[in-house]
């Protein structure tokens, strides 16, 4: 019986394509990773890193008040992008959460910016505008967060409808204004902050957020609000004064110059 002829197996000369395809895939993944790192949000990465670390260590995730406010290169006309706004809100919320007086503070986001609402009992004694020593560490943390940005800041003081009449504070307007001024002064000192970014005002009893008919409502109305506006501070443009010739006279642009007699030479 005749044996079948054995066919010779041809060597596959295209095996290199498998290795080449693997190499190209890994190279593509490497460049995708580089792109992802180049557009990393530092603030969000830090929060995510803290959360992962706490998860593996079986700890409660509280976060850190050390939040980096990213520099926004897409800012136009001094406005703040939502990305920077979100990181600032997160920084304030983490600060409040870690504070032992978190029940007396609240972070509220409005169309004008971020509001940190602090109850007056945390900051002042009843009927006074001097900041209590126990409140200084809280204001120091707030100033540290504000120092990381250049946003404009507005401090507003509010009271309840209970009248006050003393030699130092003849009415609630004066009391609320002095409280706002003292808080702003302390923030500027602790930051340190550019004083041109800040402003202080008092509204007395005229802008309540709760009913003054109850003790709890009056307590909510006695407050100081730190408003971090959605825009950054920029120095106002000052029109240069044009010389009108020798002498102290100067004129604004487009202002007609009055012809006057030349001054006599000074006596020697």
pLDDT (tens digit per residue) in 101-134: 777 888 888 888 889 999 999 999 999 999 999 9
CA 168, CA 54: separation in Å to the nearest integer?
51
Residue 163: its pLDDT value, please? 92
Residue 110: its pLDDT value, please? 87
CA 141, CA 147: separation in Å to the nearest integer?
10
Q: Is 77 left (phi over 0), alpha (psi -120 to 50) or beta?
A: left
Residue 76: its pLDDT value, please? 46
- The three-state secondary structure class of 205 is coil
Q: Is the pLDDT of residue 157 over 90?
A: yes
pLDDT, tens digit, for every residue of 251-263?
Answer: 445 555 445 455 5
Q: Is 15 left (phi over 0), alpha (psi -120 to 50) or beta?
A: alpha
Residue 60: its pLDDT value, please? 45
Which is higher by pLDDT, 258 or 141? 141
pLDDT, tens digit, for every residue of 40-85?
Answer: 555 556 665 665 565 555 544 444 444 445 554 444 445 556 666 6
Instruction: Assign 5 a pLDDT band (cuts: 50, 70, 90).
Output: low
DSSP state of 66: -
How far CA 13 is from CA of 21, 24, 25, in Å, comes to: 15, 19, 21
Domains, the chain, with CATH or none: 80-232 (3.30.1330.60)
Instruction: Assign 8 a pLDDT band (cuts: 50, 70, 90).
Output: low
Helices (H), 99-194: 120-123, 136-146, 172-190
Residue 131: its pLDDT value, please? 94
pLDDT, tens digit, for every residue of 170-219?
Answer: 999 999 999 999 999 999 998 889 899 999 999 999 999 999 999 999 99
Q: Contact 70/42 with Cβ under 8 angstroms? A: yes
Q: Is the pLDDT of residue 14 over 80?
A: no
Neighbouring C-beta atoms of residue 197, cutoff 10 Å: 21
- The three-state secondary structure class of 224 is strand
Q: Contact 51/65 with Cβ under 8 angstroms? A: no
Q: Is the pLDDT of residue 149 over 90?
A: no
Which is higher by pLDDT, 89 or 129? 129
Residue 232: its pLDDT value, please? 80
Residue 212: its pLDDT value, please? 93
Residue 206: its pLDDT value, please? 93
CA 141, CA 63: separation in Å to the nearest integer?
15
Q: Is the pLDDT of residue 39 over 90?
A: no
- The three-state secondary structure class of 106 is strand
Closest CA to 181 of 201, 197, 164, 195: 201
Give 105's strand partners: 118
Neighbouring C-beta atoms of residue 159, cutoff 10 Å: 28
Closest CA to 124 of 222, 35, 214, 52: 222
């Amino acid at each position: 019986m005749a044996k079948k002829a054995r066919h010779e197996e041809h060597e596959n000369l295209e095996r290199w394509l498998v290795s080449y395809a693997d190499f190209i895939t890994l190279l593509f993944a490497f460049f995708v990773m580089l792109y992802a790192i180049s557009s990393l949000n530092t603030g969000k990465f830090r929060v995510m890193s803290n959360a992962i670390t706490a998860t593996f260590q079986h700890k409660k995730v509280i976060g850190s008040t050390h939040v980096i406010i990213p520099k926004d290169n897409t800012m136009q006309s001094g406005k703040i992008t939502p990305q920077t706004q979100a990181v600032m809100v997160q920084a304030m919320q983490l600060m409040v959460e870690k504070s032992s007086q978190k029940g007396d503070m609240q972070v509220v986001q409005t169309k004008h910016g971020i509001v940190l609402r602090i109850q007056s009992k945390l900051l002042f004694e009843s009927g006074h505008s001097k900041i209590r020593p126990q409140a200084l560490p809280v204001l120091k943390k707030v100033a540290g967060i504000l120092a990381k940005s250049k946003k404009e800041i507005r401090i507003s003081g509010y009271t309840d409808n209970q009248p006050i009449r003393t030699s130092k504070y003849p009415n609630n307007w004066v009391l609320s204004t002095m409280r706002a001024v003292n808080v702003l002064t302390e923030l500027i000192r602790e930051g340190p902050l550019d004083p041109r970014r800040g402003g202080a005002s008092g509204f007395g009893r005229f802008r309540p957020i709760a009913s003054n008919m109850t003790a709890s409502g009056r307590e909510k109305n006695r407050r100081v609000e730190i408003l971090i506006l959605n825009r950054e501070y920029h120095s106002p443009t000052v029109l240069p004064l044009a010389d009108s010739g020798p002498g102290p006279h100067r004129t604004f642009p487009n202002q007609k110059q009055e012809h006057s007699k030349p001054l006599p030479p000074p006596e020697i």
